[in-house]
Structure 1
Amino acid sequence: MRSLILVVSAVLATLLTACTASGPIYSQAAAPVGDQALVYLYRVRTPFGAWVPMKVEVNGKEIGILANDSYTTVYVPAGDVSLSATRWQDFHYPDSKRVSVSGRVAGGETYYLRISQSSSGSMITTNLERVSAVVGESELKVLKRAEPVK
């Protein structure tokens, strides 16, 4: 019985650690140069889905896993870009839980995309929206950097 309690405790500790960002508090990334745009993708704290990680992708390539209160950055070439966030469910990241936005970015510009979740009854909805630099910088100040994908 004691070993079962130890195993369950270890599994819970691992799961809880995996759902929190461990990087440093926000620091501004280097400004984009030339034909590159800088995109901040960040996840604000919400009570809905708080312990559920969120996979973020840019142009179909995974760039990070975001816990509540975390962010990541990516430099992308000017032109068309597709960004998506997929909520973890049933031990994987199903396509049915993916939300995406697409648009055109300009070289030398910085963009801020907020990921949040809301609830309507028992349904949790993931929201991905572009916000102004003023809002983005203000919300990022308390967030931790997510570990980069290796």
Structure 2
Amino acid sequence: MAQQQLLLLILVLLITSFTIVVAVNIFGERVAQSNRDAVRQDLLSGATSAQVVYTRPANIGGAGEDFTRVEDDLLPRLLAPITEIEPGVWGNENGIYEIVDVEESSFSIRGIPSGSDPALVLTVRFLEDNHEWIVSIADQDEES
């Protein structure tokens, strides 16, 4: 009888340990996905702000329909509140952001989620012919 109880106790301990390990792994994956979603939301918010910055005249703090005029401070205009980590690299609790490319009517921003890969790349382009905004977000691997 004592042997049966000992085996049952060992079995219960093994099942409990396995359940705890699985739960910790699932929780870690969800935290990483949540952070990635937060970076995606920051980038989409920046894309919305880009339309305002682009159309606002340069003499009142906008780009005056040329993103290259505000290239040096484009990120803080689009992704506020963020802080400068080093020249050209900005961040917040969700991740690190940097300008990849800036042209007159388009730009790309790389967002690197805190503690997870791959980076996300936001591309915003204004098509002047039909006054249309094109916004896309892709994984860094897909963008290359």
Task: Please indicate, yes or no, whether the TM-score normalized by the shorter chain is above 0.5.
Answer: no
Larger Rg: 2
- Higher strand share goes to which structure? 1
Q: Identify, as 1 or 2, the structure richer in helix.
A: 2
TM-score (norm 2): 0.32
RCO comparison, higher one (Cα < 8 Å, 6+)? 1
